[in-house]
Amino acid sequence: MAGNGDIQWCFSQVKGTLEDDVTEADIISCVEFNHDGDLLATGDKGGRVVIFQRDPISKNSIPRRGEYNVYSTFQSHEPEFDYLKSLEIEEKINKIRWLKRKNPAHFLLSTNDKTIKLWKVSERDKRVEGYNTKEENGAIKDPACITALRVPTIKPMELMVEASPRRIFANAHTYHINSISVNSDQETYLSADDLRINLWHLEITDQSFNIVDIKPTNMEELTEVITAAEFHPAECNLLVYSSSKGTIRLCDMRAAALCDRHSKLFEEPEDPTNRSFFSEIISSISDVKLSNSGRYMISRDYLSVKVWDLHMETKPIECYYVHDYLRSKLCSLYENDCIFDKFECCWSGNDSAIMTGSYNNFFRVFDRSTKRDLTLEAARDIAKPKTLLKPRKVCTGGKRKKDEISVDCLDFNKKILHTAWHPSENVVAVAATNNLFLFQDKL
Q: In three state form, how does the secondary structure of the chain look?
A: CCCHHHCCEEEEEEECCCCCCCCHHHCEEEEEECCCCCEEEEEECCCEEEEEEECHHHHHCCCCCCCEEEEEEEECCCCEEECCCCEEECCCCCEEEECCCCCCCEEEEEECCCCEEEEEEEEEEEEEECCCCECCCCCECCHHHCCCCCCCEEEEEEEEEEEEEEEEECCCCCCCCCEEEECCCCCEEEEECCCEEEEEECCCCCCCEEEEECCCCCHHHCCCCEEEEEECCCCCCEEEEEECCCCEEEEECCCCCCCCCCCEEECCCCCHHHCCCCHHHHHCCCEEEECCCCCEEEEECCCEEEEEECCCCCCCCEEEECCHHHHHHHHHHHHCCHHHCCCCEEECCCCCEEEEECECCEEEEEECCCCCEEEEECCHHHCCCCCECCCCEEECCCCCCCCEEEHHHCCCCCECCEEEECCCCCEEEEEECCEEEEEEECC
pLDDT at 399: 75
pLDDT at 2: 47
pLDDT at 58: 84
pLDDT at 102: 93
pTM of the complete model: 0.90
Domains in the chain, please, with CATH? 4-441 (2.130.10.10)
Tens digits of pLDDT across the chain (443 residues): 444 557 889 999 999 877 777 899 999 999 999 999 999 999 999 999 999 999 988 888 877 888 999 999 999 999 998 888 788 999 999 999 999 999 999 999 999 999 999 999 998 888 888 888 888 777 888 888 888 888 988 998 888 899 999 999 999 999 999 999 999 999 999 999 999 999 999 999 999 999 999 999 999 999 999 999 999 999 999 999 999 999 999 999 999 888 888 899 999 888 787 788 899 999 999 999 999 999 999 999 999 999 999 999 999 999 999 999 999 999 999 999 999 999 999 999 999 999 999 999 999 999 999 999 999 999 888 878 788 999 999 988 777 777 889 999 999 999 999 999 999 999 999 999 999 999 999 86
pLDDT at 223: 94
